[in-house]
Amino acid sequence: MIVEQIEPSNELAADPEDHPSASASPPSDRLRPPAPAARLSDSSISLGTSRSGSFSVNISPGSGTWVATDTSHIEVSPNGSFTVNAPRSEPGCAGTSRTASETITISWNGTNSADGTTTARGTLTLTVSWEITQDKGYWVTSSTVTGGGYWSNCSPSGTSSRGLK
């Protein structure tokens, strides 16, 4: 048994002049150009202690438009830059920082008009994370607390305040 690999082709299946019984496919039945697809520059961005960043959306083949939806703490500009509106620190003693995150949703529409028209649309997501540091506050001197004082945002209970300076 002999097997031949057949490569895809954009040509019509039959030419009516060569084969009178065959009919040409109308142009709408021809293979269409590939559908556009969208790609984000990053699937996630970690800002650390910063509160701003940016991303880009590439739609190809062809061209398209996109729009991003703000979140409760992230404001997105039409050019892909964004700002996190969240505190840089919060009162606390437990650790040096914690990480918060939210997801930006990007809706896109694309068109590829090479030898016909193919359209596509979809949704992309970008996770943005940032750090919020724990602020111990200011040092309160106290002769009644072991260690001579305590941090204003921490419990002044005996030996648990020792070593927090």
In a domain, 27, yes or no: no
In a domain, 66, yes or no: yes
In a domain, 78, yes or no: yes
Domain span at residue 125? Answer: 32-161
Task: Check residue 145 and give its pLDDT.
Answer: 86
In a domain, 138, yes or no: yes
Q: Tell me the pLDDT band of 92, cut-offs 50, 70 and 90.
A: confident
b (16+ CB within 10 A) / e for 13-22: eeeeeeeeee
Task: Check residue 155 and give its pLDDT.
Answer: 76
Q: Full-prediction pTM beyond 0.85?
A: no
In a domain, 108, yes or no: yes
Question: What are the tens digits of pLDDT across the range 24-75?
Answer: 444 554 688 999 999 999 999 999 999 999 999 999 999 999 999 999 999 9
In a domain, 7, yes or no: no
Task: Say how many domains are in the chain.
Answer: 1
Domain containing 44 — which CATH number? 2.60.40
